[in-house]
Chain A
Amino acid sequence: MRPAKSTLSFGLTFSLIALLCLIALAYFSHQKMLQLSDASFVTGWILLGAMFSLGIFNIRKRMSALPLGRAAYWLTLHVVVGFFAVGIFLVHTNYVWPTGVYEQVLAALFWATAVSGVLGWLYQRAIPRRLSRIGYEVIFERVPAEIAQLREEAEAAALEGVGNSGEPTLGRFYSESLDWFFQRPRFAISHILGTGAATHWLEQRIAAVRRLLGSAELKALDEIEKTARVKISVDAHYAIQRSLKLWVFAHVLLTSATLSLSIWHLILVHVYAR
């Protein structure tokens, strides 16, 4: 398939421009300092402008009906301006950690937002590969329905096994080990890290009970195992997709806190230090 129009060249060009602007601003700030003046107002407003333009990305996403440009370009801009904002922040604070509680809180929020942004960007580039390798695709909102369905199937298989053989082994096995498993998505951390704990856990349990089962029950056990493996795929999707959504949650939350505190800072600075 032909690849989508790449944003790479756009991103590189814009990064170059941003870098040049940053260097120019750092130089300008230094020169102002040498002339016993203060460039903080200029760099501060630029920083605020950069932060707001970063925040506008959220607005654009809500207004996809309007022809405002491809979101892929917006994201590239967002990342580049994000790095630029980090640079401007350093210039604005003169490369030192601030004194005073509220300014330290503001700086901490800013760094948290920026770091969360960078980490999230890298995460979003790396993790879809894992998702597509799982081999089973599930929409996030449908996970509970799928799990409910799988749970019913597993329970039915277990009951069938018990019914066919007359032995309560499978039933006991289900209530001891699998009931917990089928209640809700499990092994979230393992799925995110890709350590495979879920599969390992399942295989161990299945192997443990297999030798106790007769031929009538083995079919049911295979059925259960198949169902459980599908659930592991669903769990993996759920865990990873949820982590992505939680990341956005955190990032937006930090952004709104940072922006509000920046407005407060803007007010204070203009009242006291202009």
Chain B
Amino acid sequence: MAVATRLTRPQRWDRPFGSEMSQSQLSFLMQNSVIAAIDSEAFPKTIPLQGIIENDTRILRFDAGEIIVREGDYGNSAFLVLSGKVKVIINPPLSADQIGREKTPPARFANAIAQVFKRRTAPEVRDLTRYGQFNLANSEKQAVFLQDFPAVLKDRDTAEIGEGSLFGELAALGRTPRSASIICSEDAELLEIRWQGLRELRRFDAGWRRQIDENYRKNALLAHLQDTPLFANLDSDTLSTISAATLFETYGSFDWSSSFQRSGTEDALRSEPVIAREGEYPDGLLLVRAGFARVSVKQGSGERTLTYLGAGDTFGLHELYQGWRGAEARSESTLRAIGYVDALRVPSYILEEHVFPSLLSPPDSLLKFAQRPLADDAMQEWLVEQRFINGTKGMLINLDKCVRCDDCVRACASTHSGNPRFIRHGKIHDHWMVANACMHCADPVCMIGCPTGAIHRSLAGGSVVINDDTCIGCGTCANSCPYNNIRLVEIRDLAGRPVQDEATGTPIRKATKCDLCAGIPGGPACERACPHGALQRVNF
């Protein structure tokens, strides 16, 4: 039996969010009005409030003019203003130059060459010395300043956020990009709360929950409306009117993945909550903010899925338009929430007043999808059923072309020091296989439970990556993933010996999954390596 290496099993708060918080800082924070208002008794002993504050938050200082968050960035934390003021830039947004968007870490050719020559005969080898050094707080925070910010701010619609207010929780909790850029207008001291902490706070404190939800709705609404092409050429006053009139609705559960896993795909349709029913009067235009919704019509004794809607899609526009023109308005199809849906409902009178008159061409009916032969439905039906529609980089293998040569697996291994990050098996429909490779979902449920934030959205473009150094191997993400695309592996040291926990002797595990070959030029190696063009990374 190979001699094993011993290592202490990592724990959740091994890595505090910031550098070690001093006691004085901690007591200062605990006395802050907002935090003090939290009932610490409501928190369990394993996750005390103090612990959360100590480990899941950090104090940041910003100078006037410094950019705190950038619109479009993926962020994992919310901010509580301790002192000073910040301004939210609403309209028009800052340009990319002004924002000083960080370039994505370049895909280095040198990385690729290094990978070619790295040959390990033991699987999952790690350099253990790395694990002691890495510290989030040590990462250089580059301060980005907005040039001439008073002038910039002057021409823009802005909102001010003062002491005691919370911002940024939208992106942190919703796993969506930042909706607006936020600049520090006066020298400020902020408490950055990473979303794991925010999650606990929201979970155990009612006040925070209410506040967060309210903020969520208010800000989300406005931002989403601004982004909708339908309202693109409306002025801000009209938009405000619209936003005031718009209702915010949520269907399904945030945590849909677990229920999906439990129930499987059988008869999923029946269990999906209905948003709008075929034949009923449409209350208003539905804008899907997040999540997926199924559009179906009755066909014989069953329901036929015509299409699915994702973020940004609308439902009911055609029917309402016809209604405005004089015909009777009835929903032509049923809308159901797949998993969960954040939707906005814009009342019909708003549309009739502001939108329809300026429409150049009448919107298409979704019934156009009904013309498709019944047999052709099967693929889409299956994708929806399996919830593959969530994936932005699903690995689709054409089994009629695949010769099972495993070149893709080997290519994947070659970019990861000899460790493949997917398996060439998965659910099959007809001659298509969706392999067990991370699909980098639009709604990554794997991130929900991570205690350390090791699994996160990369700043660059939305691929979901696991930081190997901070992963503690709890397996939450692997269990959460509805598609079984994350796997835990037992790591070994450089000599090939298995690494074990010092205390218990259990193997140290890390979560692994496809990372779209980040850092390697050329994109995912699997796609490039298939000699028959059978493998594609597909945005469903």
Contact = CB atoms under 8 A, between A and B. Distances in A.
A and B touch in the complex (CB under 8 A): yes
B137 interface: no
Interface string B423-434: 111001001110
B536 interface: yes
A122 interface: no
Closest 7 CB pairs of A and B: A67-B522, A64-B411, A132-B399, A72-B533, A65-B115, A64-B529, A75-B531
Contacts of A74: 531
27 contacts: A1-B396, A1-B432, A4-B536, A5-B533, A7-B533, A61-B410, A64-B525, A65-B112, A65-B116, A65-B520, A65-B525, A66-B109, A66-B112, A66-B113, A66-B522, A70-B528, A72-B530, A72-B531, A74-B531, A75-B532, A128-B403, A128-B404, A129-B400, A131-B404, A137-B399, A139-B425, A244-B403
A71 B379 contact: no
B415 A137 contact: no
Given A65-B415, A132-B399, A140-B404, A71 B538 contact: no
Contact of B538 (A1, A64, A128, A244): A1
B534 interface: yes
A8 to B, nearest CB: 10
A74 B525 CA distance: 14
A211 interface: no
Interface of A: 1-2, 4-7, 61-67, 69-72, 74-75, 124, 127-129, 131-132, 137, 139-140, 237, 241, 244-245, 248
A129 B415 CA distance: 30
Contacts of B109: 66-67
B35 interface: no
A139 B424 contact: yes
Contact of B415 (A64, A241, A245): A64
A132 B528 contact: no
B218 interface: no
Contacts of B398: 4
Given A61-B529, A67-B522, A244-B403, A137 B411 contact: no
Given A1-B538, A137-B433, A71 B404 contact: no
A132 B404 CA distance: 11
Contacts of B520: 65, 67
B421 to A, nearest CB: 13
Interface residues of B, number: 42
B459 interface: no
A64 B531 contact: no
A267 B297 CA distance: 75
B405 A137 contact: no
A139 B433 CA distance: 13
Contacts of B203: none
A66 to B, nearest CB: 5
A132 B400 contact: yes
B402 interface: yes
B461 interface: no
Contacts of A140: 404, 406
A244 B401 CA distance: 13
B425 A137 contact: yes
A128 B115 contact: no
Nearest to A138: B425
Interface in B513-527: 520-522, 525, 527
Given A4-B534, A64-B525, A65-B112, A244 B407 contact: no
Contacts of A62: 116, 414
